[in-house]
Every structure is written in C-alpha cells, then in structure tokens.
A and B are shown apart, each in its own frame.
Chain A
Amino acid sequence: GEDVEQSLFLSVREGDSSVINCTYTDSSSTYLYWYKQEPGAGLQLLTYIFSNMDMKQDQRLTVLLNKKDKHLSLRIADTQTGDSAIYFCAESPMNSGYSTLTFGKGTMLLVSP
C-alpha cells in the first residue's frame, strides 16, 4: 500500500538551513513532490523530482532522493520567516495513470527571528 511519513514539526532560526525529511513506500512512484501550505491557503508546488534522479537544486531548495531507502529530503538554505508554513511531501504512483497524490501528514516549519 501507499504510505508517506514525515516528521511533524521543525523549528529553526532565521538564516539557518532547514531539512525536512520524508519516507515513502510505493517503489513505482514516478514523481515525488514538495508542496508548501501557509495558514488558510491552498498548496503551492515548490519542487519535484523524478524517481530516476538523485538530486535537484532550485535556488534555495535542494531535494535529495535515496531510492534504496525510499527517503526524500528538502533542504531550504538561508531560511526566512516567510518560509514558516506546513510542508507536504507527496508521491504520485506510476500505476495510477494520473497525478493522484498521496500526501504525508505535513511538517510544520517554524522560523524564528
């Protein structure tokens, strides 16, 4: 079955790096995503990685994928107070045929000044 696990809470100081971790179980997943959700808002697609890649960097964001351990991480460099939000890891299984996302429970990132 599909299951995505995340740690629930992370607190960092402004300017530090944040690392949010995620594990997934579906080895057929083609895309793995990171979404950001601010209070009362929808989901903002931050970045994604194909399951045949190991790393992807996009400005302050770095995604690392360890396929053997089914472990995904999101590193945010120079974290700002505006980065405070809930971050969802999500997988899209290949066998669904669509972008049907299974989300983790979300990691609340709190950035203090």
Chain B
Amino acid sequence: DTEVTQTPKHLVMGMTNKKSLKCEQHMGHRAMYWYKQKAKKPPELMFVYSYEKLSINESVPSRFSPECPNSSLLNLHLHALQPEDSALYLCASSLDRNTEAFFGQGTRLTVV
C-alpha cells in the first residue's frame, strides 16, 4: 500500500472563510510534506513534518497553518486566503529522511 489520501478533492472558499485540508497515510511514514502547485508549474515545498514536529517552513504566509495531530495525519488550516492562493495542494509522505516520497491526488483549491 503506497497510498496517501487527501480530502477534499475540490474546495471553493471565500476570502473570509476558514477551511482545512486533510491528508492521511497508513504506511508508517514518519515524514510528511505539503507542496503547492500552481497551474502549469512544478510543485513547490511549503512545510515538512518529521516525527510529528514541524521541521521546515519555506517562509509560507501565516494564513496557511499546518498541523500534525498524529503520525498518520497532516492538516493544512486555511484562513483569509487570497485569490492567488488558488492552486493544487499536494501532500506527500516518506518513510524517513532521504527516502522516496509518495504523493496524494491533491486538493484543488479555488479562492473566490
């Protein structure tokens, strides 16, 4: 099983809304990642969690707030987003450091 599950698949939200993206894996992976992919661009790293602790924040604005409640779950809380935040948000996980990363199908976010 190499499955990373992301919900919802699609999300439309207003600029004053608060919403959350969810990511789940049951592969026993200890590192989890959030990437952002704009249209016709490659994914760009946002956050890295290792052993449920935030290890890397790539200078992401505070309107994006990650959370790792346990080793299988990774959330991304969204608040006061801008239309330019519309993108495909991809979650990934890897067994540990420097091992292959597996991606979910992503959440397509549209901010109106």
Name, among B48, B50, B101, the residue most crowded by chain A CB atoms within 10 Å (CB to CB). Answer: B101
Say yes or no for B69: interface residue by CB 8 A criterion. no
The size of the chain A interface, using a CB distance under 8 A, is: 24
- Bound-state Cα–Cα, A48 to B99, Å: 10
What residues make up the interface of A, taking CB atoms closer than 8 Å to B? 30-31, 33, 35, 40-45, 48, 88, 92, 94, 96-101, 103-106
User: Could you list 26 A-B pairs, sorted by A, with CB under 8 Å?
Assistant: A31-B99, A31-B100, A33-B101, A35-B103, A40-B108, A41-B105, A42-B88, A42-B90, A44-B103, A45-B2, A45-B100, A45-B101, A45-B103, A48-B100, A92-B98, A97-B98, A98-B31, A98-B33, A98-B50, A99-B33, A99-B94, A99-B97, A99-B100, A99-B101, A100-B56, A103-B44
Task: List 20 additional A-B contacts (Cβ < 8 Å) besides A45-B102, A96-B56, A101-B45.
Answer: A33-B100, A35-B103, A40-B108, A42-B88, A42-B103, A42-B105, A42-B106, A43-B92, A45-B2, A94-B98, A97-B97, A97-B98, A98-B33, A98-B56, A98-B97, A99-B99, A100-B33, A103-B43, A103-B44, A105-B42
